[in-house]
Structure formats: C-alpha cells, structure tokens
Chain A
Amino acid sequence: MSLRELWSDFVPSLLAAMVTNFEISFVALALGLALGLPLAMMRFYGGRASAGAAATVISLMRAAPTFVVMFFLLNVIPRDANLFGLKLALSGVMTVAVSLVPYSAAYTADAGIEALRQWRRGSPLGALLFLPNITRAFFVIVMSSGAAAAIGVPEGISVILRESALLPTLGDRLVVFAVGIVLFGVPLQLGLALMRYLQRALGRRVVAS
C-alpha cells in the first residue's frame, strides 16, 4: 500500500467512519446518565428496599458483557417490534449504543454515588470530580464501540478491517493497523489528558477550600 493511497483514500474514510464511533458513544453516555443517575439517587437516598433494588440492578449491569448484550439485542428484539405505537426496532448504530448502556449506567451510578457522598461530606468540589470520571467513561465507550464491526455497522474498526482484508502481506496490514491505533489513540490520549487536568484543577481547589 503506497503512502499516497493511505492518505488519499484510507485515512479520510477512516476519519469519516470514526464519526459513527463518537455518535454511538454520545448516545450510550446520554442513555447511561439518564438511567445511572436515578439509580445513584435511589441507592443513596432510597429506603432499604429501593436502595437494595438499585444495588442489584447496578451490579447486574456491571456484570453484563457489552458484546453479548449487543448480540442479545440484535437477535431478541423483533424487527417489527413496537410499544404503544412507537417503533422499537433498533438500527445497527442504536443496537451498539444501547448495548453499551449497562456499562455506562453502572459507571455513572458508581461515580454518582461517590459524588453524592462527597456532597454530603461538604465537599462540592469533590463531588465535581464526577465530571472527569464521566469523561473517562466516554472515552472507554468510544474504544468499546469498535465492537460494532461484528454486526456490520460501518464505523472505524470495520473500515480498518475492510482495508486490511484486501492487503496481501502482514507488513501492509500492520501499517493500516498502526494508522488505526494513532487515529483512535489521539482523541483518547487528549481526552485522558483533559481528564487529568480537570482532576488536578479540582483537587487543588478542594485542598484550597
């Protein structure tokens, strides 16, 4: 594979496909927040029964493997399913996003409970550490969204695999894989750096206050 082909064809199509990974991650995180935060509130403020129920749901979601949940959703929800007239059938992108919700919601609930604990202790800045934690979860989800390639969603990993399948030598394939790692790695490392900065900044304020 020539450098020209790499830059003119593969890299633009990979970048375009990676947009889907971010779309999946935004949807998964939004749904995870919507589900995880009420669970955190139930776990923290609820009575014995509701807190116990929330704890059980959180631990089940924590244990559910994303890849299996994805295949479960893909195969169990009928194509023509609807609820009260609303179409329930999931597109490929939504199937992957929803399969990441158990992880996202469980992580949000855990981080939310810790934030509520800090708030109760009188440390609002400690509670704000919730934000960098959610940033970390977002990037974990971006990396996990590559599983979508297994069900034919045209995202970043599927573009890398498609390109590598056409190459005859391991050396050529490794070049394609390396480009993939760099393009996935740059936003991840930037995100993690942002998270570390936020954590340090908040930590300094906590100490100062």
Chain B
Amino acid sequence: MMNRLLRSMLLSVGLLSGMLAGARAETPDAALDELLKQARTECAPPADRLNRVLCSGRLRAGVREYYPLFGTREGGVNDGYEPDIARVIAKRLGVEVDFMRVNAASRIPLLAEDRIDFTIATMGHNTQRDGQARFIRPHYYQSESALIGPKALPIKTWEDVATRTICVTIGNGSNAELVSHKARLMLFDEAGVLPDRLKDETCTLATQDDSFFAYYFTDPAFAGRFEQKFGFAQVPWGMAVARTGSDKLGRALDLLSQIFHRDGTFLAIARENRIGTAFLERQRAIWQRPDCDTAQGSTNSACVLPALNAALQPTPFAAAVNTFEDWTERRLGLDVTLPMLKTAPAFSLFLNGIANSLILIAGALVATLVFAIAFGFALGSDVRPVRWLARLVTVTLQSSPIVLTLVIAAAFAHALLPYSSAVALAASILALGLSNGSNAGQAVSEAVISLHHEGGEKGMTLFVHALGRSATSIVSFLVNAAKGTPIASFIGAPELLSALTDITSFSSGRVTTYCLLLVFYTLVVMVVVWLCGLLRAWLESREVAA
C-alpha cells in the first residue's frame, strides 16, 4: 500500500515537473536559449547564418546612415533607434556588431548577396517584399503617412482634404489613398525637400512617413509652425534576413523581438531616441499577454500584425503589356513603360481621365460659343446699363489669369455644392467658357459696331453677320479654350493630366506617360483646330451671303 502510494506520489511529482519544464520551454526566453545553445555547437559548414554569427562572434547589420533619429552616422559612429536595436541584439547573442550602410534600393539585395546577416533599415513590411526577404515578427516599429500642414489651416479629416494640393514623393505607397480622397498631388523626387517646401510655403500640405517628419518636429521653429493633421496608411516595419540559409537566425530574431516588446526594450530605446512610442506601447501590452508570450507567439495571428497588402490588382491584359514593353526594349531599344494599362485602379483612372477630358473640351467649346454670343449681344446692346455691365465683366475676366478664374469658379461651386468630380468639371467648363467667351464676345461686339457704322442692317440679321465677320477671333478663342482644358486639373477636375499625375505618383513610367499625354492633347487640339476651321468657313459664308 505504501509502495503504491509512494509510486503515485513520485509519478505525480514527475508529471508536475515535466509539465513545469514543458511550460518553461514554451517561453520565448527558453526557446531562444535552447536555440543559441544548439547553434554554438554547430560551426562546421554548411551552417545557418546564426551558427556563423555565433561562431565568428560578429553580426553584420545593414542600417541606414541618413535617416534622422532612426539611423545616422556621425564621426564614424552609427546612431539612432535601429543601430541601438542592432547593438542590443548583438549583446544578447554575445557577439560584436558590424554596421554596413544600406539604402532603400540595396537593403534586400545585400541580404541575398550574403554581405549582411540582417537588415534593420526603415523597411515597411508588405506582401510584395515577402517574396524577397524573410521578415522578422513581431515588427519592431510601425510608421504611418502623416499629413503635415500649418497650424492655422483647419484640416481634421479626409473631407477637408478634397481639392487641396498635397506635396508628396513619387512612388510613395500612400499616394493612391490621397488620390482616392480627391486630393491633388504635387510630386517631388525626394522627401528631403518637403520640409523646406513647407517652410517657404511652396507647399501648404505635405505627406510623408511620420518617422521622416519626427526629426523635423524636434526643431522648435518647425514644431511651432506646423502640426500633424492626421495619420493614415499604417505600415509595420520589419527586420529581415535572407530567404535561404537564415532559418535559425530568423527564428532567433523572432524570439528576441518578442522578448524586447514584452520587456519594454524596444520602448526604452525608442524613448532614448525621441521617436513616437504609441505603437510600441500597444505592442508591449500584446506581448505581455499569456497567449502571445510563448515560443510560438510570432506565428500566432492574434499577436502579430499582417504584412501590408500593397499589390494592386492587375488588368486582364497586364501580361500582354509587359510583353510589349519587353519587345520595344529588346527590338527598338526604347524604354517604354505603360503603368496606366497594368493595374486595374490605374486603368480605371486612365479611362475616366480620357472620357472627362473629352467632356471638358466639348463643354468648354460649347460654353465659349454660348458666352461669346451672349457677351457680343450684351456689349453691342443699345441699353446702356447692360452694355456697361457687360464691359465691366469683360474687363474683369480679361484681367484675371485663367488659373485664378478657375479657382474663383471652384470656390463658388464648393460654397454652393459638395465637392464631386462633376462639380469640378462644371466649374472648369464655366470658367473656361467665361474667360474665352468674354474675349470672343468683345470681337463680336466690335464687328457689330463696324457693321452698324456701315449702315443698312439691324437686329438679328446684323448680329448674325457680325458673327461671320468676327469668325477668326471666335475660332481663335475656341482653340484657346480647348488648349486650356488641362488647367482644369488645378481645381481637381479629374481629366487626363490629373489622372496620369495620380497614376505616376504610385507607379513608374513617368517619361512614357507624359509623352503620351502631350501627344494626346496636341492631337485633340489639332482636331479642334480642324473643326473650328469648318465652323469659320461656315460663319464667313454667312457674311458673304449677306
């Protein structure tokens, strides 16, 4: 009986200690210790990069050297949030860290070429990059696109952004979201110029990663004038290792990242470097949860963030377009890129842009003709107040640059109606018609006066003949109206120039795109010139017939 009791007790103790041991093995700390212990004993090639790092005692980290607060190099010393994390990782692994400079273009290729062991270099984790490198989870930071503007500017939500011009950098993934909220984009090649363009007031609003602007907000003068209006397009940042030969190193970094979040290591380093900590505070709470603080936490979808899905849906004929681009490069030596045909959102913008441009041109021509007749009639009227009022409006319209006339028309339209593409198009048609129609109307009234002096005719017959006499001027202002339609993009009319600017803001192929745009508008204007020639011949025949 005693033996059975003793056996039962021993069995229970054994089971309990086994369970406790198992629980200990479930923690990321224990899993990391086990992994490192094993890796230190396997130095013979072929080995995982973790074995090599531990056996050689050196960890090669790819870091940025000109990204204030996150990765800089001054006096031969790498400084910032990311180099500091690399140092803490190296310390935990018991090795020395060697920094290698990387940039946005080289941070993944250098991994593949085995010139660095891992990269920690302001790299957003998206689904496209998942195929190029193995990202470490959990993510060590998260950035978002920040809309920056003067404190006096009342902007709080997306609704306040429609029709406003926002300075952005070409290729920024968040540009598509700005476009979808009807913002107009002013494109720049490099982010570095944006703060200066805000300061010299070239840009009223600018968008870039909050991590980029974080440095500028440490300047009291900048922080005194500008503020972040709101953030959007959150992107998790990930360390990464090569897709092959780095399984254990990747696993070790996964576990380390878990531990660093849970213990507040990332948070402390972020505070030391004066960067935003809201994301890290949220992550710390997540990684302290029992369901996440396990050896398998980095694969638990309830704990880790998904990669940003940055891939745009391709068009059904995207493959054929790629084949055509390859063919032109191979056979003709021309670097033709047609981004507007490759993805569904770009193709939709492109088609709408063409349709809206044609509507705008047709509308501007009709409006110019109608206003020319109306102004001609009013300026040649026998009723003095009508004539004076028409003259005042004509002089005012002539004195206003067309861009300003468009802006005024848009201001009235937006005061009366909520913003929409149709409202922007209508305001543009009205402004172009008024501006060109008033000038053409002046020519008509001068013809009316000249015919009046010659005597003979009166009333409607005289007016019709005056239209014939001023046909050259009318046609010239009709052509001018057609040529002026691309300016409508300035007030947010979604015509082709606007559409292609939006497309090139989130894709490549600027040269081909703007060449096609120039050809399109030049051809359309030439067609308008030809049609206007027919109109002039008809109007002049009316005068000859008279």
Residues of A within 8 A of B (CB): 59-60, 62-69, 71-72, 75-76, 79, 143-147, 149-154, 156-158, 160-162, 164-166, 168, 170, 173-174, 177, 180-182, 184-186, 188-189
Which partner residue on chain A sits nearest B512 by CB separation? A76
Contact assessment for B526 and A162 in the assembled complex, using a CB-CB cutoff below 8 Å: no
Contact assessment for A152 and B497 in the assembled complex, using a CB-CB cutoff below 8 Å: no
Contact assessment for A177 and B404 in the assembled complex, using a CB-CB cutoff below 8 Å: yes
Check A166/B150 contact, CB under 8 A, given A79-B189, A157-B404, A188-B399: yes
Contact assessment for B517 and A168 in the assembled complex, using a CB-CB cutoff below 8 Å: no
Contact assessment for B407 and A161 in the assembled complex, using a CB-CB cutoff below 8 Å: yes
Q: Chain A residues with Cβ under 8 A from B489's Cβ? A: 67, 150
B244 within 8 A of A: no
Inter-chain contact count A-B, CB under 8 Å? 135
**Additional A-B contacts beyond A75-B510, A75-B513 (9; CB < 8 A):** A143-B402, A150-B186, A150-B403, A153-B202, A154-B201, A166-B150, A168-B154, A177-B404, A188-B398
Contact assessment for A177 and B407 in the assembled complex, using a CB-CB cutoff below 8 Å: yes
Which partner residue on chain A sits nearest B529 by CB separation? A63
Report whether over half of chain A's contact residues are helix, strand or loop; otherwise say mixed.
Answer: helix
Inter-chain CA distance A158–B408, complex, in Å, is 14
Check A154/B200 contact, CB under 8 A, given A72-B515, A79-B189: yes
Inter-chain CA distance A184–B403, complex, in Å, is 12
Contact assessment for A67 and B487 in the assembled complex, using a CB-CB cutoff below 8 Å: yes
Which partner residue on chain A sits nearest B482 by CB separation? A65
Check A152/B197 contact, CB under 8 A, given A71-B517, A75-B504, A165-B153: yes
Q: Chain B residues with Cβ under 8 A from A76's Cβ? A: 510-511, 514-515
The residue that B514 contacts in the complex, of A71, A152, A168, with Cβ under 8 A, is A71
Inter-chain CA distance A174–B204, complex, in Å, is 19
18 sampled A-B residue pairs with Cβ under 8 A: A71-B501, A71-B514, A72-B518, A75-B513, A147-B402, A150-B186, A150-B487, A150-B490, A152-B197, A154-B200, A165-B164, A166-B150, A166-B153, A177-B404, A184-B400, A186-B399, A188-B398, A189-B399
Residues of B within 8 A of A (CB): 150, 152-154, 164, 167, 186-187, 189, 197, 200-204, 395-396, 398-404, 407-408, 411-412, 415, 483-487, 489-490, 497, 501, 504, 510-511, 513-515, 517-518, 521-522, 525-526, 529
Inter-chain CA distance A173–B411, complex, in Å, is 9
Q: Chain B residues with Cβ under 8 A from A151's Cβ? A: 186
Inter-chain CA distance A189–B483, complex, in Å, is 24
Q: How far is the CB of B408 from chain A (nearest CB, A)?
A: 5
Q: How far is the CB of A6 from chain B (nearest CB, A)?
A: 17
Inter-chain CA distance A153–B202, complex, in Å, is 7
Q: How far is the CB of B156 from chain A (nearest CB, A)?
A: 14
Contact assessment for B186 and A146 in the assembled complex, using a CB-CB cutoff below 8 Å: no
